[in-house]
Amino acid sequence: MDKILDIITAKITKGFIACEYDESYGKVTISNRPDLCDFQCNGALAAAKKYKKAPMMIATDVLEKIKDDPDFESVEAVNPGFLNIRISNTFLADYANEMASSEKLGLALVKEPKKIVIDYGGPNVAKPLHVGHLRSAIIGESIKRNARFLGHDIIGDIHLGDWGLQMGLIITELQERQPSLVYFDDEYKGDYPKEPPFTISELEEIYPTASKKSKEDDDYKERAMTATLNLQQGKPGYRALWQHILNVSVSDLKKNYEKLKVDFDLWNGESTVQEVIPPMVKRLKDEGYAHESEGALVVDVAREDDTKEIPPCMILKSDGASLYNTTDLATITERVRLYNPNQIIYVVDKRQSLYFEQIFRCARKTKMVTDDTQLDFVGFGTMNGKDGKPFKTRAGGVMRLESLLNEIDEGMYKKINENESMSEAEARDTSKKVALAAIKYGDLSNQATKDYIFDIDKFTSFEGNTGPYILYTIVRIKSILEKYNATSTLPEDAKINPASNSVEKNLLLLLTRFNSVIENSFNELAPHKICAFIYEIANEFNHFYHETKILTQEDEEKKNGWICLLNLTKSVLETCIYILGFDAPEKM
């Protein structure tokens, strides 16, 4: 289906063309004064200078050509030259009915689907997920779902931190604790054990212990660096231990991400591209892109038009070691080789914006990507506590993500369990769904780049701009439909009727913006636009609900029309929350 805004714009544009004005002036926008009109065209004001005519004269000319269109309830030319448009209730109902009967609610799939890789998540193995990992996972998952819903071919990659000094630290600490393990016997030639010599809980205690020791003991740190080098050079025992670390960590990570309804297509890490690095570095040297600077190998990425200093992109340190830059550039190289993507999206803390500016410039300058490849950085702000500082536990430590989820889940369970009509199993399932909605909507309703206050009390409220309020609205609709279906059967030819009042029309106008919102949200990589949209719908529906006696309406055709409207409202809301990454329970 064409977007409703495009249909109205095409009609107004015909009026401008008929008056021999340029078609570019026919653009229509949603009115910011819904009390005056549904849509508005300001093209006459822009055309006045070119045609040396008063804007009001141009608007009046166009009005004469379009005023008899049956899809318009009214069109007015208003000083200083606006065209105020109200669409007919019949046209609006017809559009809504077409949405209801169309696949994906009338959303037109993209004509030229992109191949996209989205890089989000980015946890380090051997460390528990904490609240700092929340935003990347939630925002990235929503963008991925949005792209996929539009018809793009998108691949989600977690990009694990699974290489480097942290591995050497764990190996060193393990050797101190269990020196007799076969992994540390250079003479051992047999197969290594299939079972790891540690649990996830032990592993998560080993790393911070080792990290603390390395800061206090230079000899310990030196041994860890040597272990890291030996691992990277392929020492069999260390590689076997590293594989154990990876397996145990990834298994735990998958459980936690599953609770968040976050799913990755690729579980690649920095280690995946280690073999890509040597030939990449050689090419950068051979083709003259990289040069030595104070012993390090760098690529200059500054430009003459820069208004701030952009340091060179370091490829190798002075000791020849690679770093994050090297790994990220090698990852781009490998993604291009394997997938040839039109677009690569990174969802990372906004404080890394300069770093990614260097990476993107280096990738373009060195021809790792084509000029047409989109490289997008979605930088997100900090999730803070009520004190305005990064969110922590009551004891002042960094809160584990699992602990946060459990805390909110238990809080929701207590609220929901007050509804004595639910079984224990129903209450538990509902509390999980509402808690997840509270967390995800609480995050996504904020513009990604902004810091925000993570206020558990506010986010778990059933009133206001919250996830639970959105779910409560959907459950309310489900309840009405369930009561209707218990006593009636909706006729096959039932359809949404033309609105009988402004409340009904306002709800319909909002619903018809669905395909525009979904498109714009992805094009701008801005999930908060979907949140704003469904909050408006929830408010407008609840206004409609309080003004309308739906189930007691004696006029069957009118009642059936409202049931069709409820079905469409539910479908729009449920589709939007699916894209945001959560779903609604049957009861609340």
CATH number of the domain to which 531 belongs: 1.10.730.10
CA-wise closest residue to 248 among 192, 172, 194: 194
> Are both 18 and 30 inside the same structural domain?
yes
> Are both 409 and 514 inside the same structural domain?
yes
CA-wise closest residue to 248 among 170, 191, 177: 170
> Are both 249 and 337 inside the same structural domain?
no
User: Tell me, what amino acid is at 418?
Assistant: E
Q: Cα–chain-centroid distance for residue 520? A: 13
Placement of tokens 């189930």 in the chain: 551
95 is a domain residue: no
> Are both 434 and 572 inside the same structural domain?
yes
Q: What is the pLDDT of residue 409?
A: 92
> Are both 344 and 309 inside the same structural domain?
yes
pLDDT tens-digit profile, the chain (588 residues): 999 999 999 999 999 999 999 999 999 999 989 899 999 999 999 999 999 999 999 999 999 999 999 999 999 999 999 999 999 999 999 999 999 999 999 999 999 999 999 999 999 998 888 888 999 999 999 999 999 999 999 999 999 999 889 999 999 999 999 999 999 999 999 999 999 999 999 998 999 999 999 999 999 999 999 999 899 889 999 999 999 999 999 999 999 999 999 999 999 999 999 999 999 999 999 999 999 999 999 999 999 999 999 999 999 999 888 889 999 999 999 999 999 999 999 999 999 999 999 999 999 999 999 999 999 999 999 999 888 888 876 666 678 888 888 999 998 998 888 877 788 889 999 999 999 999 999 999 999 999 999 888 899 999 999 999 999 999 999 999 999 999 999 999 999 999 999 999 999 999 999 999 999 999 999 999 999 999 999 999 999 999 999 999 999 999 999 999 999 999 999 999 999 999 999 988
pLDDT in tens, 286-337: 999 999 999 999 999 999 999 999 999 999 999 888 889 999 999 999 999 9
> Are both 463 and 409 inside the same structural domain?
yes
| CA 53, 54, 59, 60 torsion-angle sign | negative
| CA 332, 337, 343, 348 torsion-angle sign | negative
pTM (two decimals): 0.94
521 is a domain residue: yes
Contact 530, 537 (CB under 8 A): no
> Are both 532 and 439 inside the same structural domain?
yes
Q: What is the pLDDT of residue 395?
A: 62
Q: Rounded to an integer, what distance in angstroms lies between the CA atom of residue 254 and that of residue 331?
A: 22
> Are both 37 and 123 inside the same structural domain?
no
424 is a domain residue: yes
107 is a domain residue: no
Contact 273, 148 (CB under 8 A): no
User: Tell me, what amino acid is at 92?
Assistant: L
Q: What is the pLDDT of residue 396?
A: 61
CA-wise closest residue to 361 among 338, 340, 382, 377: 377
Q: What is the pLDDT of residue 393?
A: 65
418 is a domain residue: yes
Question: Measured between alpha carbons, how far is residue 331 from residues 158, 159, 334, 370 in Å?
Answer: 12, 9, 5, 15
Of the residues 331, 350, 384, the one at which a domain ends: 384
CATH number of the domain to which 18 belongs: 3.30.1360.70
92 is a domain residue: no
Placement of tokens 């639970």 in the chain: 468
Helix (H, G, I), strand (E, B) or coil at 355: helix
Q: Rounded to an integer, what distance in angstroms lies between the CA atom of residue 178 and that of residue 172?
A: 10
Of the residues 359, 384, 409, the one at which a domain ends: 384
CA-wise closest residue to 164 among 10, 401, 285, 326: 326
> Are both 182 and 242 inside the same structural domain?
yes
553 is a domain residue: yes
Domain count, the chain: 4
366 is a domain residue: yes
Contact 91, 227 (CB under 8 A): no
Q: Rounded to an integer, what distance in angstroms lies between the CA atom of residue 297 and that of residue 204?
A: 35
> Are both 144 and 194 inside the same structural domain?
no
Residues spanned by the domain of 357: 116-161+269-384
Contact 113, 154 (CB under 8 A): no
Contact 477, 541 (CB under 8 A): yes
Placement of tokens 């297509």 in the chain: 265
Q: Rounded to an integer, what distance in angstroms lies between the CA atom of residue 184 and that of residue 193?
A: 13
> Are both 429 and 538 inside the same structural domain?
yes
Strands ordered across the beta sheet of 374-380: 153-157, 115-119, 343-349, 374-380
Of the residues 259, 280, 299, the one at which a domain ends: 259
Contact 324, 160 (CB under 8 A): no
> Are both 563 and 479 inside the same structural domain?
yes
